[in-house]
Amino acid sequence: MKFESSTAKPKILVTRKVFPEHLAQLTERFDVMSNQEDISLAPSELASRLADKEGALVTGGDRIDETVLIAAANLRVVSSISVGHNHIDLAACTQHRVMATNTPDVLTETTADLAWALMMAAARRISESERWLRAGHWKRWSLDGFLGVDVHHSTLGILGMGRIGQAIARRARGFSMRTLYHNRSRLPSDVEDACAAQYVERDALFRHADHVMLVLPYSSENHHCVGSAELGCMKPGATLTNIARGGLIDEVALCKALRDGRIAAAGLDVFEGEPNVLPELLSVEHTALTPHIGSASRVTRDAMAQLAIDNLLEAFSGVRPRCLLNPETWRN
């Protein structure tokens, strides 16, 4: 939907705290209602605040669905500071002729870094040993203290080989790893060569990988795609790392696999009920847990926010947003 606003500044809602320079930039162009207090907005509060708004700058924790869209009759653009967009009902947005955008690409390398940090922390029991040290238990060195599993010269299995998956695979070459991947569709041979990655069927990935990495988008079809069956066919010394979405893993099954020693360790940056975390996960020792910080470097979060703002500015300037998720809403 191509449109031009009136001379009055368009009203927008910024649902979460943003950097001051970004808020100043938005204020120059828009009539801004900003949640700089960073209060989590309940669905009813979000709908209420959007009632008279033409645009919204949201994050992955803001659910934009039919209920919200019905209440926001003037809404024209929802710009999310995220690459994932399962929090946005794209079909409903399209029906209400609301453009939805996201922020891909700018977080790829930073998120791949975090994936490696988590995988290595899990494999080498970094978080577990640090907790033990901080509790004052370290009295002497021991030959069998906190034995982990090697990353170098092992086999990495990547489930989901998009931009971030490929960035993770490229890093594996420096550790002399063999890289297997499974994706909805096989990559072109030149991309496989650049990543030194071999396509395998999904079951084979779980059987042969020493370190399994989840980098696929969440969908209803992917809900709990890693459960007791998948964990049961992994190697006993294998690790599982998830930087994608929490709902991909059956966390109850994962806790059981960790407690039973079925797999060695897990590194998780995302959780099914986040920000709430399954209490049993917090008590399992062989885990490295982080609070959804995959893209959390200052440079990258700045780039994400700026791209989200650019999407808004383009839409309100009559230019098709560069990261438009539902192109059906755009008309020249």
- CA 124 to each of CA 28, 95, 169, 265, 312: distance values in angstroms, whole numbers, following the listed order: 49, 49, 20, 9, 43
Give the angle subtended at the CA of 279 by the CAs of 278 and 284, to the nearest 5°. Answer: 100
Catalytic-role residue among 170, 207, 292, 320? 292
The pLDDT tens digits of the residues spanning 115-158 come to: 999 999 999 999 999 999 999 999 999 999 999 999 999 999 99
Q: Which domains does the chain have, with CATH numbers?
A: 11-106+297-329 (3.40.50.720), 108-289 (3.40.50.720)
Percent of the chain with pLDDT over 90: 94
Tell whether the model's pLDDT for residue 190 goes beyond 70: yes
**DSSP string computed for 159-206:** E--SHHHHHHHHHHGGGT-EEEEE-SSPPPHHHHHHHTEEE--HHHHH
Which pLDDT score, from 0 to 100, does residue 3 have? Answer: 40
The pLDDT tens digits of the residues spanning 206-252 come to: 999 999 999 999 988 999 999 999 999 999 999 999 999 999 999 99
- CA 83 to each of CA 231, 254, 290: distance values in angstroms, whole numbers, following the listed order: 27, 26, 18
CA distance 109 to 165: 10
Question: What tokens were used for 195?
Answer: 């990543």
Q: For 276-298, what is the mean pLDDT?
A: 96
Tell whether the model's pLDDT for residue 30 goes beyond 60: yes
Q: For 64-71, what is the mean pLDDT?
A: 96
Which pLDDT score, from 0 to 100, does residue 331 have? Answer: 78
Q: By three-state DSSP, how is residue 1 classified? A: coil
Could you confirm whether 292 is annotated as catalytic? yes
Q: What are phi and psi for residue 269, nearest 5 degrees?
A: -110, -10
Catalytic-role residue among 245, 262, 286, 301? 245
Could you confirm whether 211 is annotated as catalytic? no
Which pLDDT score, from 0 to 100, does residue 8 have? Answer: 84
Catalytic-role residue among 96, 163, 178, 274? 274
Tell whether the model's pLDDT for residue 6 goes beyond 50: no
Tell whether the model's pLDDT for residue 4 goes beyond 80: no
Could you confirm whether 274 is annotated as catalytic? yes
The pLDDT tens digits of the residues spanning 68-116 come to: 999 999 999 999 999 989 899 999 999 999 999 999 999 999 999 999 9
Which pLDDT score, from 0 to 100, does residue 5 have? Answer: 42
